[in-house]
Structure 1
Amino acid sequence: MRVTQTMISNNMLRNLGSSYSKLDKYNEQLASGKKISRPSDDPVIAMKGIYYRSDVTQVEQYKRNLSEGYMWIESSDDALDKVTQSLQRMRELAVNGANETNSVSSRQALAAEIKQLITHVGSVANTQVGDKYIFNGLNTTQPPVNMTVNTAADGQISLTGTFPDGTTYNPFNVEVSRGVSVSVNTDPNNMFDQTTLDKLVALHNGLQTNNTTVINNGISDLDSILNNVLTARTKIGATENRIDMIDDRLGTQEIIANRIMSDNEDADIEKVITDLKTQESVHNAALGVGARIIQPSLLDFLR
């Protein structure tokens, strides 16, 4: 086959174009740090990348869910800690009021403080995380306690609008892993319901009316309510421990998922630099050879 100067020039230009394409590929990998810049570069890497990125995104979402769960748990525990302090203070006042040496006015002064503590317990029941009430199950937009303190002429009080007795408690679940949900709120029954708050009201009224029998019964009621609150706090602690373990596992999963995604997508920078320098040397050599090939002109052939 007869090889002409045009054929040599065309082949040389085609090979130079291919060399430029390789240089562009290595430059792009070096600049982006990725093996591919479009799915057509390697469909297998692109397809796997979709699944790996989905795994990373899921883990990141679960960690965000955990953050919300931590807020609910910590807020609930803090609220019940305030309730515990209030109940313990009420018990101190009740024990003091049960002493027979107290005068009527002294017991009424103790009743005045208990009245304030009852109001405080009602306000703690309406604790919010963001704009959600944490002690009202799934009904997070409505406060569980709308307490109104009614004072009679003799100083006794009554409550209206508190959390109804026997209200069905619907847990607020947070998905913390695939197919795994954790309840992060606390059952308000036996802590903020009408019966419980009425027991506190009875203690107040016993002090107000100087009735030691009611005061002693109120001490027993306070012990029972305190036990309910401590039981709820124990459950909160158990839930928090579980969330901690899930958080540790998600942290490990996130590291693994990111490593797998990196192995699939990220370019080996050392290898890319080596390939780029090699291709630059090959390209420069090709340019030098091409310059010598296309240098002769028609006059050179006529000499």
Structure 2
Amino acid sequence: MRVANKTLYDSITVNLGRVTSSMWKANEVVSSGKNINHISDDPVGLVTVLDLRSSLAGVEQLERNIETGTSWLKASEIAFTQMNEILSDTKQLCVQMSSATVGASERRAAAELVEGNLVQLLSLGNEEVGGRYIFSGSRTDTLPFSLDESTNPPTLIYDGDHDPFSVRIGRNTTVEVGRDGEAAFGAPGNSIFDLLIDLKASLESNDVNGIQQAMGELDTAMGSIRSLISNTGTKILRLETKTAILEELQLNYTDRKSQIEDADIAEAIMKLKSSELTYQAALNSSSKVMALSLVDYL
């Protein structure tokens, strides 16, 4: 049966188009390094890749949260440690000043040292990380502690709130990395700052009983600060553990995404070369067939 020239040419055109499309796709895979460049390449695989990208973005956000939280907790740990040292030095001063051999003038001089310690404690109570106060509860843009110098003795003021700043480290998990300043250091009138304010007054008034009472209160305060240090260290370890888990999860997601999305370049180049050879063969064959005329059949 004789095949019409139009039918023959149409068939050649279709075949060349198919071979050209195959070669173009192979070239695109080599150029991009990706198996999926269009929705039609692998609709199911593309959905999986998009889900994995979303999961990776979520993991990266959690890692940023943990990084922020860790920096807050480490700053807190340092502040608590320095506070404990200041309180310890203050107690040693109390031991010396409670001696019967010490006079009023020496106690007044010691009051100035306590004043300096109080200033340092307030500075640590107003510790910042990245311009945000870590002991203001959730009011991280507000200076937590200040002294009203208009009263005698000065009055402590707390301007934070009672909702500690937290970071999310999991789908439904948060960790408090900031502190409610009142809960950490005591409410105004009964805080570690007030303890030093009262001690200073006792030293200035040569009140030995007040100095001796402060010694016991300083022990209690140091015990509270040590508990805060321990609690903070526990939270840091928790975040470090979570970081390790997220890093493992990130590697898993990245590997799965790569298996679906990324091309094996060596294999892709071989497919491209094969497509080019097929294309050349199709062109040669088509040119010979389309060059035939009636004379060739006489």
| Same fold (TM > 0.5) | yes
Quote the Cα distance in structure 2 between the aligned partners of 1:57 and 1:116: 48
Determine the structure 1 residue equivalent to 2:287. 291
Task: Give the drift of 1:150.
Answer: 5.5
Structure 2: stretches of 5+ with no match in the other structure: none
Determine the structure 2 residue equivalent to 1:172. 165
User: Percent identical across equivalent pairs?
Assistant: 28
Structure 1: stretches of 5+ with no match in the other structure: 152-156
Quote the Cα distance in structure 1 between the aligned partners of 2:156 and 2:94: 25
Alpha-carbon deviations, 1:225-252, whole Å to 9, x = none? 1111111111000111111111110111
Is residue 2:164 matched to residue 1:193? no
2:153 to 155, 158, 168: 158
Return the letter of the residue paired with 1:14.
V
Number of residue pairs matched? 295
Return the letter of the residue paired with 2:72.
W
Determine the structure 2 residue equivalent to 1:280. 276
Determine the structure 2 residue equivalent to 1:252. 248
**Runs of 4+ off more than 4 Å:** none
Return the letter of the residue paired with 1:86.
I
Conserved? CA contact 2:138–2:161, under 8 Å: no
Conserved? CA contact 1:49–1:265, under 8 Å: yes
1:270 to 266, 270, 286: 266
Task: Give the drift of 1:192.
Answer: 5.0
Quote the Cα distance in structure 2 between the aligned partners of 1:121 and 1:215: 19
Change (3 A) 1:190 1:131: closer
Task: Give the drift of 1:107.
Answer: 1.4
Conserved? CA contact 1:125–1:135, under 8 Å: yes
Task: Give the drift of 1:47.
Answer: 1.6
Conserved? CA contact 1:162–1:192, under 8 Å: no
Quote the Cα distance in structure 2 between the aligned partners of 1:241 and 1:211: 45
Change (3 A) 1:205 1:105: same
| Secondary structure, counterpart of 2:145 in structure 1 | coil
Q: With the length of structure 1 as denominator, give the TM-score of the two structures.
A: 0.90
Moved more, 40-49 or 173-182: 40-49
Conserved? CA contact 1:135–1:185, under 8 Å: yes
CA RMSD of aligned residues (A): 2.1
Determine the structure 1 residue equivalent to 2:11. 11
Conserved? CA contact 1:122–1:192, under 8 Å: no
Quote the Cα distance in structure 2 between the aligned partners of 1:192 and 1:142: 18
Moved more, 42-51 or 245-254: 42-51
Q: With the length of structure 2 as denominator, give the TM-score of the two structures.
A: 0.91
| Secondary structure, counterpart of 1:147 in structure 2 | strand
Alpha-carbon deviations, 1:246-269, whole Å to 9, x = none? 111011111111111112222232
Return the letter of the residue paired with 2:135.
F
Is residue 2:26 matched to residue 1:26? yes
Alpha-carbon deviations, 1:195-215, whole Å to 9, x = none? 122221121112112222111
Return the letter of the residue paired with 2:26.
Y
Quote the Cα distance in structure 1 between the aligned partners of 2:50 and 2:187: 51
Change (3 A) 1:168 1:130: closer
Return the letter of the residue paired with 2:146.
N
Quote the Cα distance in structure 2 between the aligned partners of 1:262 and 1:185: 38
